[in-house]
Amino acid sequence: MTDDFIISDAGTGALLLDVAAGAFDEGRQARLLALADSLAGTVGIDDVVPGMNNLMVAFDPLAVDVDEMERRLADGWRSAAAVGRPGRQHEIAVVYGGPDLGDVAAAVGLSIDEVVERHAGAVYRVAAIGAMPGFPYLSGLDPALSMPRRAVPRQGVPKGAVIVGGGQAGIMPITAPSGWHSLGHTDFDLFDPDRDAPATLAPGDVVRFIIAGVER
Amino acid sequence: MIEILSSGALNSVQDRGRRGLLSSGVSRSGAMDLPALAAANALIGNDRDAAAIEVAAFPFRLRFDADTTVAVTGAAAEARLAGRRLPPWWAIEARAGDELTIDPPTVGARVYVAVGGGVDMPLLLGARATDLKSGYGGHEGRGLRRGDRLPLGRRPSGKLPNGGIGAPPPPGRDDADRPLRVLPAAEWSDFSGEVRQLFATVDWRVTAEADRQGCRLDGPDLVRERRRELLSHGIVPGTVQVPPSGRPIVQLAEANTCGGYPKIATVIDADLWRLGQAVPGDAVRFAVVSRDDGLAALRAAADWLAGLRRAAALYRVS
């Protein structure tokens, strides 16, 4: 049997375990999160970073043997069970609207109301946190709302923008450039640097969007 | 206290950066030239986690409110304390009222100014580093301005001899032509042998798009033979991404914690400081090395620093 994963070097102090087999897979993600939990707190490991069907581990290479870490990741993946994190539940109120909403509706061939209902009708799971402080990569987007990201990212997409890009959904934690499309806005706070755990959401959490209004 | 008399928004309080929060989307941040920061702290007996000032906008001027020790390392730039010129990579006793002036570098981009006890900012997410991109940490989450007053930590006991002490250049510091050593990364084999060869032989040019987040390079297009969509994944400083344009970007201290572009290679930690000291127009080359080479280089840097710390301690008199 061939291995269903690849481990590559990410410089001298990190390894990337990639278990993706085409499109994002929830079962594999649950196994990865279980592996991440089992690695957290290991002496010498600085960071355990779940991505979308991948996991990066960063460590002090003068304190941790790289070959040993590679074996640990491989064995850990093979034996990881999709136990699933309990995950907290979040309801996030969204005022739908803004300049992209109509464009998205036109691009996917739905009415604005249908776009809003499909976006708010889905149950999302936080697959990973990253890129920006506290930014959640949400899986579970209705495939009918899937549309390619912009070729050129737009500057200054505002904090609180509720966005979709490719098959993923997310929320902007800070005002920053993004190639994703905005469907609305929320006041939900995703990041507070004064907290020990600064990100509000965590991988495994469940998110539902509530329609607080639709502006046209 | 120290008072900033002249500064630019790119000058910031930096330490070794943040660890353990990449999974919350928190970038490492910290000094762009970590060996220079470490040497400055070592020369004056500071804790290795002490924060210093990363100077990237010149001229830079500050005044000491009280007697303390100061070390200046990093880029080759003329530095004067109370009008007296300091040799490169130097530490010296400063008197209350003394002014420190740093002129634009002749070689390199960033100068580090460490003071006895370190710049004493509250710890935020485990560090004192400023994250300029996200606007937190350091001094009010921003670059330093004229009139800012920065508190100092408790200075280590003992004083430096009259005239001060210096550090010899760290390993590789005097050889500007040496290539940046890299390890192949996840998508290395998506590029043809020819493109990989090109990557590792041509002179790349540092563009004006170079900041604490990353550095875009100009040169031939690196065309990926095997095109496939990548899912978002964790990245570290040093990651050499190849976006669809074909021109590589090297991620640096304030790199986003996740990315989606193919990664051809990663600059080894021991060589990352070179990009922290690169200015637009500089030529850089890459050389592919092994895991063992990367580790040996890191070990050599750690040994050099430990030696400097021991030697500097011998000079301190109480």
ipTM: 0.95
Is A1 within a domain?
no
Q: Percent of chain B beyond pLDDT 70?
A: 100
What's the gap in Å between the CA of A98 and the closest CA on chain B?
A: 24
pLDDT value for A3: 67
Within an 8 Å CB–CB cutoff, is residue A20 touching chain B? yes
What's the gap in Å between the CA of B67 and the closest CA on chain A?
A: 33
Please say whether the dihedral angle defined by the alpha carbons of residues A132, A137, A141 and A147, taken in this order, is positive or negative.
Answer: positive
Q: Please name the residue of chain A whose CA is at the shortest distance from the CA of residue B21.
A: A47
pLDDT for residue B94 is more than 60: yes
Q: What size, in residues, is chain A?
A: 216
Examine the domain organization and report whether A65 and A111 are in the same domain: no
- The A residues from 140 to 179 touching B (CB cutoff 8 Å) are 168, 173-174
Is A84 within a domain?
no
What is chain A's pLDDT, residue by residue, as a tens digit (216 residues)?
456 999 999 999 999 999 998 889 999 999 999 999 999 889 999 999 999 999 999 999 999 999 999 999 999 999 998 887 789 999 999 999 998 999 999 999 999 999 999 999 999 999 999 999 999 999 999 999 998 888 778 888 999 999 999 889 999 999 988 889 999 999 999 999 999 899 999 999 999 999 999 998
Residue at token pair 């021109």? B247
Is A202 within a domain?
yes
Q: Please name the residue of chain A whose CA is at the shortest distance from the CA of residue B288.
A: A11
Identity of the residue in B188, B231, B298 whose CB atom sits nearest the CB atom of A61: B298
Q: What is the phi/psi pair of residue B152, to 5°? A: -110, 150
Residue at token pair 């049997």? A1
pLDDT value for A1: 41
Examine the domain organization and report whether A51 and A15 are in the same domain: yes
Examine the domain organization and report whether A113 and A155 are in the same domain: yes
State the average pLDDT for chain B. Answer: 95
- Contact between B233 and A54 using a beta-carbon 8 Å cutoff: yes
CA–CA separation, B193 vs B184, rounded Å?
13
> Regarding beta strands A89-96 and A206-214, do their DSSP bridges make them parallel or antiparallel, or are they unpaired?
parallel
Which of A49, A79, A109 terminates a domain? The answer is: A79
Q: Please name the residue of chain B whose CA is at the shortest distance from the CA of residue A132.
A: B25
Number of domains comprising chain A: 2
* Mean pLDDT to the nearest integer, B57-61: 97
Identity of the residue in B124, B268, B270 whose CB atom sits nearest the CB atom of A193: B124
CATH code of residue A200: 2.40.100.10
Q: What is the phi/psi pair of residue B311, to 5°? A: -65, -45
Identity of the residue in A12, A20, A174 whose CB atom sits nearest the CB atom of B268: A12
Is A14 within a domain?
yes
- Contact between A197 and B24 using a beta-carbon 8 Å cutoff: yes
Examine the domain organization and report whether A69 and A130 are in the same domain: no
Residue-wise pLDDT tens digits, B108-118: 999 999 999 99
- Contact between B134 and A174 using a beta-carbon 8 Å cutoff: yes
Candidates B22, B23, B125, partner chain A, best to mutate (most A CBs within 10 A): B23
CA–CA separation, B82 vs B59, rounded Å?
15
- Contact between A16 and B233 using a beta-carbon 8 Å cutoff: yes
pLDDT value for B245: 84
* Mean pLDDT to the nearest integer, B65-75: 97
Examine the domain organization and report whether A149 and A197 are in the same domain: yes
3-state DSSP assignment of residue B256: coil
CA–CA separation, B263 vs B240, rounded Å?
6
3-state DSSP assignment of residue A164: strand
Identity of the residue in B24, B185, B297 whose CB atom sits nearest the CB atom of A129: B24
What's the gap in Å between the CA of A192 and the closest CA on chain B?
A: 10
Q: Which two tokens stand for residue A56?
A: 């990066």
How far apart, in Å, are the Cα atoms of A66 and each of A5, A9, A63, B292?
Answer: 18, 9, 9, 10
Q: Please name the residue of chain A whose CA is at the shortest distance from the CA of residue B293.
A: A12
CA–CA separation, A127 vs A87, rounded Å?
11
Q: Please name the residue of chain A whose CA is at the shortest distance from the CA of residue B187.
A: A8
CATH code of residue A38: 3.30.1360.40
Q: Compare B228 and A188 and report the one with higher pLDDT.
A: A188
Residue A30 belongs to domain spanning: 6-79
What's the gap in Å between the CA of B257 and the closest CA on chain A?
A: 5
Examine the domain organization and report whether A129 and A73 are in the same domain: no
Q: Where in chain B is the domain with CATH 2.40.100.10?
A: 180-296
Is A118 within a domain?
yes
Examine the domain organization and report whether A63 and A137 are in the same domain: no
- Contact between A54 and B263 using a beta-carbon 8 Å cutoff: no
Identity of the residue in B20, B185, B230 whose CB atom sits nearest the CB atom of A10: B185
Residue at token pair 């969204």? A94
CA–CA separation, A180 vs A166, rounded Å?
8
Examine the domain organization and report whether A95 and A75 are in the same domain: no
Do residues A34 and A83 lie in contact, with contact meaning Cβ atoms separated by under 8 Å?
A: yes
Examine the domain organization and report whether A206 and A105 are in the same domain: yes
Examine the domain organization and report whether A16 and A67 are in the same domain: yes
Instruction: Return left, alpha or beta for B173; rule: phi > 0 is left, psi -120 to 50 is alpha, else beta.
Output: alpha
pLDDT band, residue B251 (cuts 50/70/90):
very high
Which of A79, A97, A112 terminates a domain? The answer is: A79
- Contact between A18 and B186 using a beta-carbon 8 Å cutoff: yes
Within an 8 Å CB–CB cutoff, is residue A135 touching chain B? yes
Establish, for the pair of chains A and B, how many residue pairs have beta carbons separated by less than 8 Å.
Answer: 154
Examine the domain organization and report whether A116 and A171 are in the same domain: yes
> Regarding beta strands B180-184 and B286-288, do their DSSP bridges make them parallel or antiparallel, or are they unpaired?
parallel
In sequence order, the 6+-apart residues with CB closer than 8 A to the CB of A149 are: A165, A166, A179, A180, A181
Examine the domain organization and report whether A201 and A98 are in the same domain: yes
Which of A27, A60, A79 terminates a domain? The answer is: A79
Cα A208 to chain centroid, rounded? 15
Name the superfamily (CATH) of residues B180-296.
Answer: Cyclophilin-like (2.40.100.10)
CA–CA separation, A44 vs A60, rounded Å?
6
Cα A210 to chain centroid, rounded? 19
Angle A66-79/A26-39 helices, nearest 10 degrees? Answer: 130
